[in-house]
Amino acid sequence: MVVLLLLTNPFDGKLLSSGPKEISYSSFIKAVSGGDVKEVLIRNTSSKITGMFRSGKVFTTVAPTDLRMVDRFLENGVIVKVDSGESGWGYLISALIQWFPILLLIGLMIYSSRQMQSGGKGGIGGGPLGIGKAKTKMFQPKKVNVTFNDVAGIDEAKQELEEIVDFLKSPQKFQRLGGKIPRGVLLVGDPGNGKTLLARAIAGEASVPFYSISGSDFVEVFVGVGASRVRDMFENAKKNSPCIIFIDEIDAVGRRRDNFMRGGNDEREQTLNQLLVEMDGFEENQGIIILSATNRPDILDPALLRPGRFDRRITVQYPDMSGREKILTVHVKNVPLAHDVNLKTIARGTPGFSGAELANLVNEAALLAARQNNLAVTMKDFEMAKDKVIMGAERKSMSMTDEEKKFTAYHESGHALVALLVPQCDPIHKVTIIPRGGALGMVVRLPEKDKISVSKTELMSNIMVAMGGRAAEELFFGEKNITTGASQDIKQATKIAKNMIIKWGMSEKLGFRSFYDSEGYYLEASDQISQQTSEIIDSEIKLLIDNAYREVKKIVTKNRDKLEIIATKLIERETLTGDEVKTIFEGGELPEETRQEDTMSEFKLGGLPNDSKIV
């Protein structure tokens, strides 16, 4: 403020000596009579006169109400200019600059007082700085050119949503018979399975405006901003109905509110309340449909799911094999394919891939082919793209010493060997010691077909495979030389073991009981579980892991020779397929090396599917 005031003052010529010289009225008149004044500027709005001597020097003076003044100027040949003071930019700007600091001060005071007052109602929307305006992107109908044809493999979800398209297209048809169309539809499913795509497709099919906002956009630092954003968004939507509002990640605002333990969040609660108020505030047949998406429906506040709100739930699942084939078909539409490409085979080899990962796979394959200046994308490109989507890009730049390479090879071979020998284990897809992502090496397993549930035997096998790496290190390099390389393995094994005990009732001692809350947290710290039970849970988890590790050690010790051969081959070739590992294990010879350089390392990649199958 002080700086601003200082800056405005030079106009008065007091602070800076370079400003016009101020002279008395009498000496001014004297100069006029003497013919020394060349011109003057009189302002109608003030008694101040600015002028210029014949010498070129500029001066100012303050004049009394002197009616003969102008006559005297004219007599002495002074050029007289008059500033009406009404529209001159100069005047306006200088007034603004003079007043700016004060205006700013007043503005800030109003702003902060309003914010304090409206804390409870969240009413600073449209405030001086407009923080409350929704960051909603409004797509004009023609801009959403996604249709149901672009959504493949999730037919059930599509069918359920077709009704909504009908409603948006001709609401009268439904109103006539008194039917009620849901106001809110909750799309539930893991990321990348097409929830956003579905919402856009509905808007596209019905050619209505599509508003999209993410739950996390509502959660702001300022209390009340989220709520006012909600209000603005609905206001906007009502003006443009029929339309679709899509709220992604609704769990960011819609978490259940009864969770005292993890602390309250005023801002989130206000936003949620506002959302509920708005949803109740418009008529069923007003033509606004709110779609929201989450992958955690279990943590949503029950108030959100009540009738009249998000009472309809549509699950968007991972696509099955035929679904994946259809999704691939959609995405290869503009990609020239070589004759050998069989989408069915690709679909069979990508269990657990989401729609987004399949889209990414096609894109990576196309980039790879383009990079080699090929005219079409081959099956081989798809194979390599798949490895990249699953395992991450190779980090060629990371140099490993021979020692590290050897260590990694034995570690990974340990995983691979156990994976070959334990029951109900998904077959190995690849074993590699080329660093990818954050890992030095990895064993990737892929299920043979789509899976819905997992058996206890398989869970135990997964724990054991995770332990194979450390067990091999210990066997070949001694207990003192084990490394930190197994941290992810340990985490994975612990997670599975813990879930087996607290979620899936797989401990004999604890029986058919569940020990986790609706948010998936272990109940350890709450009063719903006794100290004694908590201790039993811990000891059961440890017992399960210890038993598994003992078993794994037996397996690697017994197959020490085989493990060594696998590791040696792995050092030589860096990557082995599941079949190759099997061949080596059974004492067979591998055919000559045919591995091609993977030239794709620099490209970006998507998420990793099936991460529990990578060790």
Q: CB under 6 A: which stretch of 39-47, 192-200, 379-387, 606-614 binds ligand ADP?
A: 192-200
Quick one: tokens of 110? Answer: 């109003």
User: Residue 293 or residue 440: which is nearer to ligand ADP going by CB?
Assistant: 293
Which long-range CB contacts under 8 A does 528-534 form with residues at least 24 apart? none
Convert residues 479-498 into a mask of x (bound to Zn ion by CB under 5 A) and - (unbound): ----------x---------
153 binds ligand ADP (CB under 6 A): yes
- The footprint of ligand ADP on this chain (CB under 6 A) covers a number of residues equal to 18
Quick one: tokens of 408? Answer: 């990694």
469 binds, among ligand ADP, Zn ion, none (CB under 5 to 8 A by kind): Zn ion
- Give the shortest CB-488-to-Zn ion separation in angstroms: 6
197 binds, among ligand ADP, Zn ion, none (CB under 5 to 8 A by kind): ligand ADP
412 flagged as catalytic: yes
- Give the shortest CB-469-to-Zn ion separation in angstroms: 3
Within 258-377, strands assigned E span: 288-294, 312-315
| Distances in whole angstroms, Cα of residue 269 to Cα of each of 71, 119, 213, 260, 274 | 75, 12, 18, 13, 9
Q: CB nearest Zn ion: which residue?
A: 469
- Give the shortest CB-451-to-ligand ADP separation in angstroms: 19
Q: CB under 5 A: which stretch of 230-238, 352-360, 468-476, 574-582 binds Zn ion?
A: 468-476
Give yes or no for a contact between 357 and 609, defined as CB atoms under 8 angstroms apart: yes
Q: Which of 324, 536, 547 is nearest to 446 (CA)?
A: 324
Using the rule CB under 6 A, which residue among 132, 194, 297, 606 binds ligand ADP?
194
- Give the shortest CB-215-to-ligand ADP separation in angstroms: 12
Could you report how far apart the first and last alpha carbons of the chain are, in Å? Answer: 61
User: Residue 194 or residue 297: which is nearer to ligand ADP going by CB?
Assistant: 194
| Helix, coil or strand: residue 357 | helix
Taking the C-alpha atoms of residue 206 and residue 222, their distance in angstroms, rounded to an integer, is 37
Q: Which of 13, 180, 7 is nearest to 101 (CA)?
A: 7
User: Residue 322 or residue 488: which is nearer to ligand ADP going by CB?
Assistant: 322
489 binds, among Zn ion, ligand ADP, none (CB under 5 to 8 A by kind): Zn ion
Using the rule CB under 5 A, which residue among 469, 578, 606, 609 binds Zn ion?
469
User: Residue 144 or residue 615: which is nearer to Zn ion going by CB?
Assistant: 615
Torsion angle defined by CA atoms of residues 374, 377, 381 and 385, in that order, rounded to the nearest 10 degrees: 120
Q: Please, is 361 exposed, middle or buried when counting C-beta atoms within 10 Å of its C-beta (0-12, 13-18, 19+)?
A: buried
Q: Which of 101, 105, 49 is nearest to 73 (CA)?
A: 49
- Give the shortest CB-186-to-ligand ADP separation in angstroms: 13
Q: Which residues are paired to 210 by β-bridges?
A: 139, 244
355 binds, among Zn ion, ligand ADP, none (CB under 5 to 8 A by kind): ligand ADP
For tokens 């007082």, what's the residue? 113
User: Residue 384 or residue 467: which is nearer to Zn ion going by CB?
Assistant: 467
Taking the C-alpha atoms of residue 473 and residue 97, their distance in angstroms, rounded to an integer, is 74
- Give the shortest CB-449-to-ligand ADP separation in angstroms: 19
356 binds, among ligand ADP, Zn ion, none (CB under 5 to 8 A by kind): ligand ADP
- Give the shortest CB-615-to-ligand ADP separation in angstroms: 26
Q: Which of 331, 324, 352, 387 is nearest to 190 (CA)?
A: 352
327 binds ligand ADP (CB under 6 A): yes
191 binds, among ligand ADP, Zn ion, none (CB under 5 to 8 A by kind): ligand ADP
The footprint of ligand ADP on residues 196-235 (CB under 6 A) is 196-197
Which of 412, 473, 474, 540 does the annotation list as catalytic? 412
Q: CB under 6 A: which stretch of 149-157, 332-340, 363-371, 575-583 binds ligand ADP?
A: 149-157
Q: Please, is 410 exposed, middle or buried when counting C-beta atoms within 10 Å of its C-beta (0-12, 13-18, 19+)?
A: buried
359 binds ligand ADP (CB under 6 A): yes
User: What DSSP line would sit under 514-575, residue for residue?
Assistant: --B-TTS-BGGGSTTS-HHHHHHHHHHHHHHHHHHHHHHHHHHHHTHHHHHHHHHHHHHHSE
392 binds ligand ADP (CB under 6 A): no
Using the rule CB under 6 A, which residue among 61, 193, 212, 228 binds ligand ADP?
193
Convert residues 290-309 into a mask of x (bound to ligand ADP by CB under 6 A) and - (unbound): ---x----------------
The footprint of ligand ADP on residues 452-511 (CB under 6 A) is none
Label residue 213 left, alpha or beta by phi (over 0 means left) and psi (-120 to 50 means alpha): beta
195 binds ligand ADP (CB under 6 A): yes
User: Residue 268 or residue 470: which is nearer to Zn ion going by CB?
Assistant: 470
User: Residue 351 or residue 355: which is nearer to ligand ADP going by CB?
Assistant: 355
In the sheet that holds 37-43, the strands lie side by side as 21-22, 58-62, 48-53, 37-43, 79-83
User: Residue 189 or residue 485: which is nearer to Zn ion going by CB?
Assistant: 485
Taking the C-alpha atoms of residue 251 and residue 295, their distance in angstroms, rounded to an integer, is 8
Using the rule CB under 6 A, which residue among 305, 330, 590, 608 binds ligand ADP?
330
> Which residues bind to ligand ADP, rule: CB under 6 A?
151-154, 189, 191-197, 293, 327, 330, 355-356, 359
Catalytic residues: 412
> Which residues bind to Zn ion, rule: CB under 5 A?
469, 489, 615
